[in-house]
Amino acid sequence: MVFRLHSEGLAARTLNGPVPTDGEMQSLLRWEQRSTRELRQVFDVHGWPGVRLVGDIGAEAAWWIVLLCDRYLPFQHEAQGLLEEAVEAGDAPARHAVHLGDRLLMHAGEPQTHGTQWVLHDDGSISLYTVADPSGLAERRRAVGLPEAGTDRDVRLLSLTRRPRLESQPQNRTPHP
């Protein structure tokens, strides 16, 4: 089920341009609704779908799905608690928890801590969302196994589904291909 939802999510994010059209956005919204419903059932039975339950690839897929279900913040908050428990038990990577934590901070209009979240602008450019204590960012990222901020991996994880509640001043605005 996690693999199916992940595949469907990837398909829904295959866009014709850097900003989703109305039809593409409707497809994304339907995927988010279905994903939250189905993953909540997994949470109720198993808790977080970690490495022991679904393997490394399945755990990565589950995290990616939760990360991108932005219109369901209570679901993301519920998942965050389960994910943090899984990290403490050695059943999920710490980087998953900090990505989701940064995302929830962004949606609350607060600065992120690990520099994992980017903002998509209407013109297709992207910028790193505001980071708390930028001078300590590299060390915080290293501590959870993340590479330096601004890597290709961070940008690929950019969700095209929702902006932060309070858009900050862009840092290093970059055209998106």
pLDDT of residue 94: 96
**Structure-token pair, residue 11:** 């398909």
d(CA 164, CA 142): 25
Residue 125 pairs in a beta bridge with: 175
What per-residue confidence (pLDDT) applies to 164?
41
3-state secondary structure of 172: strand
- Residues ≥6 apart with Cβ < 8 Å to 118: 126, 127, 128, 129, 154, 155, 158
Residue type, 98: V
Q: Are 119 and 176 within 8 A, CB to CB?
A: no
pLDDT band at 169 (very low <50, low <70, confident <90, very high): very low
* 27-60: pLDDT as tens digits: 989 999 999 999 999 999 999 999 999 999 999 9
- The pLDDT assigned to 133 comes to 95
| pLDDT score recorded for residue 118 | 86
Distance, in Å, from the CA atom of 97 to the CA atom of 107, rounded to the nearest integer, reads: 15
Q: Which residue type occupies 72?
A: Y
Which of 130, 125, 124 shows the shortest CA–CA distance to 116? Answer: 130
Render pLDDT for 122-166 as a digit per residue (tens, 0 to 9). Answer: 777 778 899 999 999 999 999 999 987 665 555 555 543 344 443
pLDDT attached to residue 167 = 40
Task: State pLDDT tens for residues 79-127.
Answer: 999 999 999 999 999 999 999 999 999 999 999 999 999 887 777 777 8
Query: What pTM, to 2 d.p., does this model score?
Result: 0.80
Rounded to an integer, the average pLDDT of 13-21 is 75
